[in-house]
């Protein structure tokens, strides 16, 4: 049996649910983080995810918690991916060539960044487009 990679990309919904204790999926997001820590996963996200989560926290919870979130990110072991010009072009090409109109630019960019960094799993509660062979992360039963 092939070993699964110990790399995972965090999407906005999981990261926000982890921060927001009132979120109905907070316990599930917390279980993800416990599992990642226990199994020594390399956890990645992107600059755009950090920015979007910070804005959500600022709007829906409080500006001071948004600031604390950013401080925590800066002190954490979270790997933040930044797109370069070729990533942006690949994201645009992916978006334009995708058959359905459901794919957003940020989702295409996430797929490109994950593919470039050999990340095969995305931790998300939402729908995951099956680009570049990516799969949704699920906790083992």
Angle at 101 between CA 54 and CA 121, to 5 degrees: 55
| Residue 2 confidence (pLDDT) above 70 | no
The total number of structural domains in the chain stands at 1
Determine the pLDDT at residue 126.
87
- Structural domain including 100 reads 7-136
- DSSP secondary structure letters along 79-137: EEE---HHHHHHHHHHHHH-SSTT--HHHHHHHHHHHHTT--EEE-SS-----TT-EE-
pTM for the structure as a whole: 0.90
| Percentages of the chain per state (helix, strand, coil), in multiples of 5 | 50, 10, 35
Determine the pLDDT at residue 122.
94
User: Is 68 inside any structural domain?
Assistant: yes
User: Is 141 inside any structural domain?
Assistant: no
User: Is 87 inside any structural domain?
Assistant: yes
| Residue 3 confidence (pLDDT) above 60 | no
10-54: pLDDT as tens digits: 999 999 999 999 999 999 999 999 999 999 999 999 999 999 999
44-96: pLDDT as tens digits: 999 999 999 999 999 999 999 999 999 999 999 999 999 999 999 999 999 99
CATH at 126: 3.40.50.1010
Distance between CA atoms of residues 15 and 18, nearest Å: 5
Distance between CA atoms of residues 86 and 39, nearest Å: 33
96-131: pLDDT as tens digits: 998 888 898 999 999 999 999 999 999 999 888 778
């Amino acid at each position: 049996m092939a070993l699964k990679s110990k790399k995972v990309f965090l999407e906005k919904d999981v990261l926000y649910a982890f921060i927001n204790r009132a979120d109905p999926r907070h316990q599930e997001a917390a279980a993800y983080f416990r599992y990642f820590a226990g199994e020594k996963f390399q956890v990645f996200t992107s600059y755009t995810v950090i920015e979007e989560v910070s804005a959500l926290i600022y709007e829906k919870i409080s500006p001071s918690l948004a600031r604390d979130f950013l401080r925590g990110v800066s002190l954490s072991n979270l790997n933040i991916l930044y797109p370069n010009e070729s990533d942006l072009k690949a994201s645009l090409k992916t978006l334009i060539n995708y058959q359905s109109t459901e794919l957003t630019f940020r989702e295409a960019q996430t797929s490109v960044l994950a593919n470039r960094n050999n990340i095969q799993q995305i931790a998300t509660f939402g729908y995951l487009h099956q680009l570049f062979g990516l799969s949704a992360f699920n906790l083992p039963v």
